[in-house]
A and B are shown apart, each in its own frame.
Chain A
Amino acid sequence: MAQQKPRYRRSLGDLSERALAFWLLLPAALLLGLVALYPVARLFYNSLFRRRLTDETGFNPVFIGLGNFTQALSDERFWTALWNTFLIVLVTVPGALVVGLLLALLANLPFRVRWPVRLGLLLPWALPLVFAGLIFRWFFDSQYGVVNDVLVRLGGERLLWVTTPELLFWAICITIIWKTSSFVALILLAGLQVIPKELYEAAAVDGASRWQSFWRITLPLLTPALLVAAIFRTITAFQTFDIPFAMQNGGSSFETLAMYVRTTSIENLNFGYGSALAVLMFLISLGVTLLYLRYIRGADD
Chain B
Amino acid sequence: MKRLFWLLVAVLLASLGLAQQTRLRVFVGGQQRPDVMRKILDLYQQRNPGVRVEIEVGGATSDQQQQYLTTVLASRDPSIDVILIDIIRPAQYLASRWADTIDKYLPAASRQALLRQYLPAYSQANVINGQLVALPGFADAMFLYYRADLLEKYGFKPPTTWEEAIRQAQTILQRENNPVLNGIGFIGAPVEGTVCTFLLPIWASGSDVTNAQGQFTLTVEQAQRALQFWVDLMDQRVSPPNMAEKPQDTIRQEMQAGRWVFGTLFAYAWNRFQNDADSQVKGKIGVVPLPAFAGGRQASCLGGWQWVVSDFSRNKAQAHRLVRFLSSPEVSKILAIEASNLPVFPALYRDPDILRVNPWFAQALPVVQAARARPQHPRYSEISEVIRVTTNQVLARQKTPEQGAREIVNRLQAIYSGR
Residue of A nearest to B247 (CB): A249
Tell me, yes or no, whether A248 is within 8 Å of chain B by CB: yes
Interface 9-mer from A52-60, A93-101, A211-219: A52-60
Q: Would you give the shortest CB distance from A130 to chain B, in whole angstroms?
A: 12
Are the CB atoms of A160 and B96 closer together than 8 Å? no
Supposing A54-B378, A249-B247, A253-B393 touch, asked if A143 and B242 sit within 8 A by C-beta, the answer is: yes
Are the CB atoms of B396 and A267 closer together than 8 Å? no
Q: Would you give the shortest CB distance from B129 to chain A, in whole angstroms?
A: 12
Residue positions of A touching B, CB distance < 8 A: 52-55, 58-59, 141-143, 160, 162-165, 248-253, 263, 266-269
Are the CB atoms of B92 and A54 closer together than 8 Å? yes
Are the CB atoms of B70 and A250 closer together than 8 Å? no
Q: Would you give the shortest CB distance from B239 to chain A, in whole angstroms?
A: 13
Tell me, yes or no, whether B244 is within 8 Å of chain A by CB: yes
**Which residues of A have CB within 8 Å of B171?**
none
Are the CB atoms of A267 and B70 closer together than 8 Å? yes
**Which residues of B have CB within 8 Å of A248?**
190
Are the CB atoms of A53 and B74 closer together than 8 Å? yes
Among A52, A160, A253, A268, the residue within 8 A (CB) of B190 is: A253
Are the CB atoms of A54 and B379 closer together than 8 Å? yes
Tell me, yes or no, whether B338 is within 8 Å of chain A by CB: no
Rank and list the top 9 A-B pairs by shortest CB-CB distance, nearest first. A251-B190, A163-B396, A163-B244, A54-B378, A142-B242, A53-B96, A268-B382, A54-B379, A54-B95
**Which residues of A have CB within 8 Å of B64?**
250
Can you offer 9 A-B residue contacts whose CB atoms are under 8 A?
A: A54-B95, A54-B379, A58-B95, A160-B241, A163-B244, A163-B398, A164-B398, A249-B245, A267-B381
Are the CB atoms of B191 and A249 closer together than 8 Å? yes
Supposing A248-B190, A267-B381 touch, asked if A141 and B245 sit within 8 A by C-beta, the answer is: yes
79-98 of chain B: CB within 8 A of chain A: 92, 95-97
Assembled-state Cα–Cα distance A91/B40 (Å): 53
Assembled-state Cα–Cα distance A269/B245 (Å): 27
Residue of A nearest to B96 (CB): A53
Supposing A250-B64, A269-B70 touch, asked if A54 and B96 sit within 8 A by C-beta, the answer is: yes
Residue of A nearest to B377 (CB): A54
**Which residues of A have CB within 8 Å of B247?**
249
Tell me, yes or no, whether B63 is within 8 Å of chain A by CB: yes
Assembled-state Cα–Cα distance A125/B242 (Å): 32
Q: Would you give the shortest CB distance from B397 to chain A, in whole angstroms?
A: 8
Assembled-state Cα–Cα distance A269/B92 (Å): 10
Are the CB atoms of A251 and B189 closer together than 8 Å? yes
Residue of B nearest to A271 (CB): B74
**Which residues of B have CB within 8 Å of A250?**
63-64, 190-191
Are the CB atoms of A165 and B398 closer together than 8 Å? yes
Tell me, yes or no, whether B134 is within 8 Å of chain A by CB: no
Q: Would you give the shortest CB distance from A2 to chain B, in whole angstroms?
A: 49
Q: Would you give the shortest CB distance from B256 to chain A, in whole angstroms?
A: 15
Assembled-state Cα–Cα distance A253/B95 (Å): 29
Residue positions of B touching A, CB distance < 8 A: 63-64, 66-67, 70-71, 74, 92, 95-97, 189-191, 240-242, 244-245, 247, 378-379, 381-382, 385, 388-389, 392-393, 395-398
Assembled-state Cα–Cα distance A226/B262 (Å): 56
Are the CB atoms of A249 and B189 closer together than 8 Å? yes
Among A59, A164, A252, the residue within 8 A (CB) of B396 is: A164
**Which residues of A have CB within 8 Å of B242?**
142-143, 160, 163
**Which residues of A have CB within 8 Å of B244?**
160, 163
Assembled-state Cα–Cα distance A240/B271 (Å): 40
Are the CB atoms of A266 and B67 closer together than 8 Å? yes
Assembled-state Cα–Cα distance A251/B384 (Å): 12
Among B191, B385, B398, the residue within 8 A (CB) of A267 is: B385
Assembled-state Cα–Cα distance A261/B140 (Å): 33
Are the CB atoms of B396 and A160 closer together than 8 Å? yes
Given A249-B245, A251-B388, 11 more A-B residue pairs with CB atoms under 8 Å apart are: A58-B95, A59-B97, A163-B395, A164-B396, A251-B190, A253-B389, A253-B393, A266-B71, A268-B379, A269-B70, A269-B381
Residue of B nearest to A251 (CB): B190
**Which residues of A have CB within 8 Å of B97?**
58-59
Residue of A nearest to B378 (CB): A54
Assembled-state Cα–Cα distance A266/B72 (Å): 11
**Which residues of B have CB within 8 Å of A252?**
190, 385, 389
Assembled-state Cα–Cα distance A266/B392 (Å): 21
Q: Would you give the shortest CB distance from B371 to chain A, in whole angstroms?
A: 25
Residue of A nearest to B396 (CB): A163
Assembled-state Cα–Cα distance A102/B218 (Å): 56
**Which residues of A have CB within 8 Å of B63?**
250, 267
Supposing A253-B398, A267-B385 touch, asked if A55 and B67 sit within 8 A by C-beta, the answer is: no
Assembled-state Cα–Cα distance A267/B386 (Å): 12
Among B71, B95, B245, B388, the residue within 8 A (CB) of A162 is: B245
**Which residues of B have CB within 8 Å of A143?**
240, 242, 245
**Which residues of B have CB within 8 Å of A249?**
189-191, 245, 247
Assembled-state Cα–Cα distance A252/B97 (Å): 28
**Which residues of B have CB within 8 Å of A142?**
242, 245
Assembled-state Cα–Cα distance A52/B380 (Å): 13
Supposing A53-B96, A58-B96, A163-B245 touch, asked if A253 and B396 sit within 8 A by C-beta, the answer is: yes
Q: Would you give the shortest CB distance from A267 to chain B, in whole angstroms?
A: 5
**Which residues of B have CB within 8 Å of A53?**
74, 95-96
Among A55, A164, A251, A266, the residue within 8 A (CB) of B95 is: A55
**Which residues of A have CB within 8 Å of B96?**
53-54, 58, 269
Are the CB atoms of B385 and A268 closer together than 8 Å? yes
Q: Would you give the shortest CB distance from A32 to chain B, in whole angstroms?
A: 21
Assembled-state Cα–Cα distance A142/B189 (Å): 13
Assembled-state Cα–Cα distance A263/B398 (Å): 21
Are the CB atoms of B191 and A268 closer together than 8 Å? no
Assembled-state Cα–Cα distance A165/B396 (Å): 9
**Which residues of B have CB within 8 Å of A55?**
95, 378
**Which residues of A have CB within 8 Å of B74?**
53, 269
Assembled-state Cα–Cα distance A143/B64 (Å): 24
Residue of B nearest to A255 (CB): B389
Q: Would you give the shortest CB distance from A207 to chain B, in whole angstroms?
A: 58
Most buried by B among A143, A160, A165, A251: A251
**Which residues of A have CB within 8 Å of B395?**
163
